[in-house]
Structures are given as C-alpha cells and as structure tokens.
C-alpha cells in the first residue's frame, strides 16, 4: 500500500511538472547544444540563391507598378486596394531581404550585402546602416528591458508619466502599426537619438561614416519621389508608391511586434538573470499561411534570433532540427489559413493587456492598465 501510494504521488508530481512550465526558468541546455542540432548545410550562404530572391521580388514589384500605372483612372478604382495590398506586401518582402543583408546572412561578401541592402532599403525609405546597427543592438540584447532596442516594454514609472493621449495612441489601432517611421526618427520612449544622424548615441564613432552614406541614399530617394511628383503630379505618386509604403510599414510593425508579444508566458529580464540564450527564447514564431513564402519565412523567428547568420531559406529546416533541444521553450505557432487573419486577434488582445512592466525585479512580465478601456480589457487580461 505504501509503495502504491508513493508511486501515485510520483505520478502526480510528474503530471504537475508537465502541466506547469516556467518559461523564465534557466534552460537545462546551452546555446551550443542548439547550434549542434542544426545541420551544417543550414549555415551555408548562397549569393546566387539570395540574388534570385531579389530578382524575383523586384520583377513582381515592377510588374505590379506597370499594371497599375497603365490603369490609373477611375474606371479601375475597384482594383486599387488590391494593388496597394499586393505592392505593400512586396515592399515588405524587399525589406526582409535587406534585413538579411544587414545580418550578413545574404552572403559572405560585406560589399555585396551593403550594396544590395542599400538598394533595397533606400527604395522603401529605410536608412540601411542606421537601421542595421540598431537592429544588431536589438539582437544582442533581446529580452533585456533596458538594453533591448525595439518593441521592448516600458517600465511602470515611465508609463505613468505618459499623457493619457499618448497611452491611447500607443495601444489603439491603427497607430501601433504606423510606428516604424517615428521609431526611425526618434527611437522608442525612454531612448534618445535618430537613425539618420551620425551624432546619435546609437552609433560608435567608427560607424558615423556608414550612417552618413545611408542617410544620403535616403535623401536621394526622397528627392526622386519629389521630382516624380513634380513631373506626374503628387496623386499618382501617392497611389503608386505612398499607399503601398504605408502597407509595408503596417506589415513591418505587425510582424515585428508579434515576434515579441502575444503570449502570457514571455518574461523580460534585467541584471544577471538575462543571458543571450534566455533572451532569445522569449521570441515567438508565427505562421503567415501563403505569406510565409512571400516574406521569406520571417515568421520563423526563434532560431533567427539565436543565430541571425542562418539564411532565411534554411530557417524552417533549422527550426525543425532544433525543436527537440528547445522543448517547451519553443512555442508552437498557431496554424494559419491561407491568410493570417487570426493574428489580428492576437494583436488586439496583446494591445489590451501588454502595457508596462514593473520597475523592480530581474524577471518580470507585462502588466495591464485596466483604466485604459473599461471592463473588456480586464476580461482579456484574465483570458490571456
């Protein structure tokens, strides 16, 4: 009887351990264990393959632009939203390829990476080096409350200092999906500097010349758009380029936000509790259905954050190989239909409950300001 009772207690303890998982607990594996599980060929970069994706995406952008430019009249008014959605999505795909250039996963040639990165990012009004450097900071400090660079939480003390209007804008659609241009100019709340200014504290002295080059390329693109507006009129430029640019910005903000939000077990760290591995394990994979192939599997994000040198076309395979090592630290993405409409529900719930983190503690989670929007917000926090 005693042995039976002991076995039953052991079984119950084992079941409880399976049911309750503390995502903030240091993992039993090391980052070297994850690296060793990934096949060697996943680390190899093919410049020709990378350039083939650039050629594919640019051909689609050119084809969409030509089709729209030849039909710029009221008779085709019904088709413009389709063009804006398609072209904006392709702008986003170009950004992802430029993002790979910034990580060096595009090729082993720094010159090729920088040339292609400048061409792609300048076309969509992103200062390549300025963004590349700040994004490197994000990867090096992912999951750290103070040192992370993008979509990091704000502390309660800073949150309480924000005006009510600012809080509303920060957590009410569509404004969070239009944040990227503002971030490029002013960074996030609590941080100073600009991606365009070489004097910004984002950059070291040796990086200032790179920033000047990228800002110059950005200015050239702005000048080109102004010249086209003078020749053809501002309305065609707005319809052919401006609106797709806004769609691209919305894609970027949606995808990058959901990489780091939308689960109630995502810890944020300070001090000695933070490590590169633990910070990387707070990122989230997302399934975008048909869009996965279009935007180069950017939703396969956990392994990318841990090993940004892996080319995008190997991320899915690398993730499958690493999942047995990651165990429950890997959050299986919800399967998408052809279009990732389910993610808008995830976004809305997160904006209702993920508002700030405590000023104290080395392991913290998002807290909710229930005063922002009545009882529905509190109800979302219960079900999150």
pLDDT at 152: 86
CA separation, residue 40 to residues 35, 201, 239, 281 (Å):
9, 38, 46, 22
Does the structure show a pLDDT above 80 at 33? yes
pLDDT at 11: 43
Question: Do the beta carbons of residue 253 and residue 177 sit within 8 Å?
Answer: yes
Does the structure show a pLDDT above 70 at 52? yes
Q: Which residue has the higher pLDDT, 45 or 169?
A: 45
Does the structure show a pLDDT above 80 at 262? yes
Does the structure show a pLDDT above 70 at 274? yes
Highest mean pLDDT: which range of 50-54, 138-142, 271-275: 50-54
Q: Quick: pLDDT tens for 182-221.
A: 999 988 777 888 999 999 989 999 999 999 999 999 999 9
Separation between Cα atoms, residue 4 and residue 286, nearest integer Å: 44
Q: Quick: pLDDT tens for 301-313.
A: 999 999 999 999 9
Separation between Cα atoms, residue 125 and residue 34, nearest integer Å: 36
Chain mean position to CA 344: 15
Which of the four pLDDT bands, split at 50, 70 and 90, describes residue 150?
A: confident
The contacts of residue 212 (CB under 8 Å, 6+ apart) are: 198
Does the structure show a pLDDT above 70 at 74? no
3-state secondary structure (DSSP) of residue 248: helix
Q: Quick: pLDDT tens for 78-115.
A: 789 999 999 999 999 999 999 999 999 999 999 999 99
Separation between Cα atoms, residue 265 and residue 251, nearest integer Å: 24
Which of the four pLDDT bands, split at 50, 70 and 90, describes residue 379?
A: very low
What does the mean pLDDT of the chain come to?
Answer: 90
Q: Quick: pLDDT tens for 311-370.
A: 999 999 999 999 999 999 999 999 999 999 999 999 999 999 999 999 999 999 999 998
Closest C-alpha to 260, from 283, 285, 240: 283
Which of the four pLDDT bands, split at 50, 70 and 90, describes residue 23?
A: confident
Residue given tokens 């999951």 in the structure block = 143
Q: CB atoms < 10 A from the CB of 120, how many? A: 25
């Amino acid at each position: 009887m005693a042995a039976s009772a002991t076995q039953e207690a052991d079984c119950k303890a084992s079941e409880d351990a399976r049911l309750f998982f503390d995502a903030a607990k240091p993992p039993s594996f090391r980052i070297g264990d994850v690296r060793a599980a990934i096949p060697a060929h996943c680390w190899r970069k093919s410049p020709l393959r990378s350039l083939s994706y650039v050629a594919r995406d640019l051909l689609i952008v050119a084809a969409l632009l030509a089709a729209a430019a030849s039909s710029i009249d009221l008779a085709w008014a019904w088709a413009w939203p389709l063009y804006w959605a398609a072209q904006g999505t392709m702008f986003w795909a170009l950004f992802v390829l430029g993002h790979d250039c910034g990580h060096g996963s595009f090729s082993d040639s720094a010159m090729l990476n920088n040339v292609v990165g400048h061409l792609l990012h300048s076309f969509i009004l992103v200062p390549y080096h300025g963004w590349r450097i700040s994004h490197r900071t994000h990867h090096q400090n992912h999951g750290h409350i103070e040192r992370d660079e993008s979509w990091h939480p704000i502390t309660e003390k800073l949150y309480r200092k924000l005006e009510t209007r600012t809080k509303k804008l920060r957590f009410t659609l569509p404004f969070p999906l239009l944040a990227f241009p503002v971030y490029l100019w002013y960074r996030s709340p609590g941080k100073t500097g600009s991606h365009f200014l070489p004097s910004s504290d984002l950059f070291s002295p040796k990086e200032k010349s790179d920033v000047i080059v990228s800002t110059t390329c950005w200015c050239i693109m702005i000048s080109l758009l102004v010249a086209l507006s003078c020749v053809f009129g501002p309305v065609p430029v707005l319809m052919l380029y401006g609106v797709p640019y806004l769609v691209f910005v919305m894609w970027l903000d949606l995808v990058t936000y959901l990489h780091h939000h939308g689960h109630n077990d995502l810890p944020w760290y300070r001090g000695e509790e933070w490590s590169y591995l633990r910070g990387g394990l707070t990122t989230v994979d997302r399934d975008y259905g048909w869009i996965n192939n279009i935007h180069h599997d950017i939703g396969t994000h956990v392994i990318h954050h841990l090993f940004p040198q892996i080319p995008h076309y190997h991320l899915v395979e690398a993730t499958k190989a690493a999942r047995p090592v990651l165990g429950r630290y890997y959050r299986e993405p919800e399967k998408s239909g052809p279009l990732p409409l389910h993610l808008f529900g995830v976004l809305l719930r997160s904006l209702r409950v993920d508002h700030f983190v405590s000023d104290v503690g080395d392991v913290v989670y998002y807290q909710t300001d229930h005063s922002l929007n009545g009882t529905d917000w509190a109800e979302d926090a219960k079900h999150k």
